[in-house]
Chains A and B, each alone.
Chain A
Amino acid sequence: MIPEAGLAALCLALALTLLQGTAGLLGAARHSAAWFAVAQRSAWLQTGLAMAAMAALALSFAQQDYSVRYVAAHASSALPLLYRLGAVWGGHEGSMLLWLTLLGCWSSVFALTMPRGPLSSAALGVLAVLSLGFLSYIIGVSNPFARLFPAPPDGSDLNPLLQDPGLIFHPPVLYMGYVGLAVPFALALAALLTSSRHGQPDISWAHLARPWNLMAWLWLGAGIAAGSYWAYYELGWGGWWFWDPVENASLMPWLIATALLHSLAVTQQRHMFGDWSVLLAIAGLALSLLGTFLVRSGVLTSVHAFAADPSRGIFILGLIAVMVGGALTIYAWRAHTLPRGRPLELLSRETLLLVNNVLLLAACAAVFLGTLYPLLMDVLHWGKISVGRPYFNAVFVPLLLPALILSGMASWTPWRGIPVRTWLRRARLPAAAALATGALVMLCGMPAVPFAAGLAAAIFTLILSGWSLLRHARQRLRPGLSYYGMQFAHMGLACFALGASVSGSFEVSEDVMLRPGGTMTLAGYTVRLQQVSQHTEKNHQALRAQVVFERHGHDVILVTEKRRYASGMVTTEAAIGWGLFRDLFVALGDDLGENGYSLHVAYKPLIRFIWGGAGLMIAGGALGFLGQRRARVRLAHEAPAKVAA
């Protein structure tokens, strides 16, 4: 009964989205607060129903109702309860339901906090169209509540790679980001649709969209960082980014959201790049939908590929065609009504931000081409190719480095321009320091130029941002939280670049064969295989090795496992001894016979800076969000005062 109730809730939600869409668009057309209220309430109700459907699915998992096909395919009685609940979004149908529910949450908060008016009303209408698309997809071709007859006595287990606490948090966080991009998208479309009779669309959409885009960017970044950390310790290869289609699918919207973050600032502050921001907002959602397509349809081979199903792929393509195609048609029809640029100074923050946008767009194009080009070649019968790390290192990284340097320069380049001489004088010292570092590193025998360049760029940005922060503190300026947020985010990016380049070029790793008691040396550490033992767990057999890293009398004891699951799948549980400045990594390989075991051991300097930097970026984003909120509250207080005066 419970699964049927879940399906019924979804059908009811479908009716409510229709109402929300109609009411929202009508409210915008007629400037009617009553229609807006209807749209608002149906958004809330619809979200409640989607949550009820999620709860029904979770309950089916908790009760181990294997007559539900989705439950039978993603859980078994041996699976711990926590993972059984995580399995709600461990597969295709459930993750689509999660998409829908999160979209409802964003719409509801949007309906709750936005000021009434045609713009919000139209945006609610657009959000309803998105919900409608996903609901019809779920009910039509991806029903998580479909029954299985006869019901199997037990389910086939959840993919062992997903049996990790990461599963509980990672997909919802990432999806929050993906789905959050729907709000700037909806606002941009609403701005195009509701332009006033004088032909000038409401520029205030940029003002409204900024915090939403920032929030979505935060979630997306957190999701990507968490995913990369998960891969680092779960996949057992010691890498943190694989340029896999699924990873690329999340990176592309992040790059676009980053570009939008910057261009919205210009649109809001200087009333420029209006049509460009609209285009970016549309592209952000388009790429997040395309990401869904890439992961779900199986058109690209990926380590993560879940279920390959062309009929679903066609449906998702149809959704993209309707939503994004529709949005771009509206754009082509109305974009000329957006305000055009104002005077742009060569050395002004506006120009830097515009160049930053161009760089981010080119970087996104590199990821896009690298991900989809094999498909294009195949479709045109040009042969099969693979695009991997060497391509991205050669094409993507050089595009991101100038963006990093620009981020360092932004903090001392004001709006509306600055004389070139003043600008150069300020840049002199940090640039010299960065160049010196780069040169020093090259002399010390850093293996590759790109790494030295990355290091120099990172140091340049760190010095500049740190220096700006110090100067503000000394002069007792109160620049507001947004300013600190920006500096922190830029420093985070620099830390990330530092970690990526240093760990990439100074990592030492080796594959060795050791017998218990045997030792080897690695980067000054004595590595000893202490003991190997066999263990039987609930749903897997584990071969467990205890490895000791010793240096200067300090021991780090790591325990790594090779697991063989009942389903026959074999996974490696790598062990990581983490420190602020270095990680020690060991993964157990195979039993080589004669009591010998193969081990992958590695020393990874500064690798924590990768996630530390990501964390700093996220913290910076959060500060920026608070700052924008505070500014909005102040504005709201000042506005009535002005009217009174």
Chain B
Amino acid sequence: MIRRFLPLLILLAVLMVAAVGLRRDPTILPSTLLDSKAPLLRAALLQDGGMPQTAELQALLPQGKPSLLNVWASWCTACLQEHAALQRLAASGVTIFGLNYKDTDAAAMAWLRERHNPYRAVFVDPQGILGRDWGVYGVPETFVIDGQGVVRQRIVGPIDDRALSQQLAKLSR
């Protein structure tokens, strides 16, 4: 009896998987860093003249408060699109670090001067080596780091500041 219905059951299973699969976005890749300590990020800071200065992200992270690491570049049009959202987040008191990915300091500085700078500090990564350590595959990318320095989320593409601030509020509780 079961044998007769086996093909039908297989079909139904396949259709169910396909129907659920329709709602999933095949282009989004979960970060392997989720729920683990943020990898060491030590690099030169982007600055307007003066002595070159190196810093370490882990030392700058605010204790007990979540923060963001935003990977951006001046050549990236989507970064322009999410800039306003970053500004709003920064204005509401969220600490945002930048990672300037495969860019030149001059172009990045000019870009920031033209708009407001939402970043607490910007690390420079002209060769994209640091970005690759973090598994960056498309700019912009935003990592949510909690108060203990653990990566909690990665967003690929422009961020939605309303959804993000809700999540940050949940993390700081």
Contact = CB atoms under 8 A, between A and B. Distances in A.
Interface of A: 279, 282-283, 286, 290, 293, 297-301, 310, 313-314, 317, 320-321, 324-325, 328-329, 331-332, 335-336, 372, 374-376, 378-379, 383-384
Contact of B15 (A282, A297, A320, A332): A320
A199 B18 CA distance: 37
A283, A301, A324, A379: which has the most chain B beta carbons within 10 Å? A379
A299 B22 contact: yes
Given A325-B11, A328-B11, A335 B18 contact: no
Contacts of A297: 18, 22
A374 B8 CA distance: 22
Contacts of B27: 301
Given A372-B14, A384-B29, A379 B24 contact: yes
B26 A378 contact: yes
A317 B11 contact: no
A328 B18 contact: no
Nearest to A335: B4
Chain A facing B: main interface SS: helix
A320 B8 CA distance: 12
Contacts of A331: 4, 7-8
B8 A329 contact: yes
Contacts, number: 70
Contacts of A325: 8, 11-12, 15
Contact of B22 (A279, A282, A314, A324): A314
Given A300-B26, A310-B23, A375 B18 contact: yes
A260 B165 CA distance: 58
A329 B5 CA distance: 8
Given A313-B18, A325-B15, A379-B24, 5 more contacts: A317-B19, A317-B22, A320-B11, A332-B8, A379-B21
Contacts of A379: 17, 20-21, 24
A326 to B, nearest CB: 10
A626 B20 CA distance: 46
A293 B20 CA distance: 14
Contacts of A378: 21, 24, 26
A7 B133 CA distance: 54
Contact of B7 (A282, A298, A320): A282
Q: Which of A321, A328, A331, A383 has the most CB of B within 10 A?
A: A328
B5 A293 contact: no
Contact of B8 (A301, A328, A372): A328
Contacts of A299: 18, 21-22, 24, 26
B7 A328 contact: yes
B30 interface: yes
For the side of the interface on B, what is the size category?
Answer: 20 to 34
Contacts of A283: 7
The 6 closest A-B pairs by CB, nearest first: A328-B8, A332-B4, A375-B21, A301-B26, A379-B20, A310-B22
Contacts of A300: 26
Contact of A317 (B7, B15, B26): B15
B8 A298 contact: no
Contact of A314 (B14, B19, B24, B30): B19
A332 B5 contact: yes
Nearest to A326: B8
Interface of B: 4-5, 7-8, 11-12, 14-15, 17-24, 26-27, 29-30
A399 to B, nearest CB: 19
Nearest to A333: B4
Nearest to A316: B18
Contacts of B15: 317, 320-321, 325
Contacts of B12: 321, 325
B170 to A, nearest CB: 21
Contacts of A286: 11
A299 B14 CA distance: 13
A331 B18 CA distance: 23
6 contacts: A290-B18, A293-B18, A299-B22, A301-B26, A325-B12, A372-B14
A156 B7 CA distance: 44
A317 B18 contact: yes
A499 B119 CA distance: 59
Contacts of B7: 279, 282-283, 328, 331-332
B43 to A, nearest CB: 29
Nearest to A302: B26
Contacts of A298: 26
A286 B13 CA distance: 14
Contacts of A321: 11-12, 15
A568 to B, nearest CB: 13
A183 to B, nearest CB: 20
Contacts of B11: 286, 320-321, 324-325, 328
A274 B110 CA distance: 75
Contacts of B30: 383-384
A451 to B, nearest CB: 33
A313 B22 contact: yes
Nearest to B12: A325
Contacts of A324: 11
A375 B14 CA distance: 10
A354 B131 CA distance: 55
B7 to A, nearest CB: 5
A497 to B, nearest CB: 30
Given A310-B23, A325-B11, A325-B12, A376 B17 contact: yes
Contacts of B20: 379
B156 to A, nearest CB: 13
A372 B19 contact: no
Nearest to B4: A332
Given A297-B22, A328-B11, A379-B24, A372 B4 contact: no
Nearest to B24: A378
B26 A336 contact: no
Contacts of A310: 22-23
Contacts of B4: 331-332, 335-336
**Chain B CB within 10 Å, residue with most, of A320, A331, A332, A383:** A332
A5 to B, nearest CB: 34
Nearest to B26: A301
A179 B56 CA distance: 62
Contacts of A329: 8
Contacts of A317: 15, 18-19, 22
A257 to B, nearest CB: 17
A379 B21 CA distance: 6
B15 to A, nearest CB: 6
A372 B26 contact: no
A331 B8 CA distance: 9
A383 B29 CA distance: 9
A317 B11 CA distance: 11
A444 B12 CA distance: 51
B20 to A, nearest CB: 5
B36 to A, nearest CB: 15
A290 B5 CA distance: 20
Nearest to B5: A332
A316 B148 CA distance: 47
A317 B13 CA distance: 12
A252 to B, nearest CB: 12
Nearest to A299: B21
A279 B30 CA distance: 40
Which one of B18, B24, B27 has the highest number of Cβ atoms from chain A below 10 Å of its Cβ?
Answer: B18
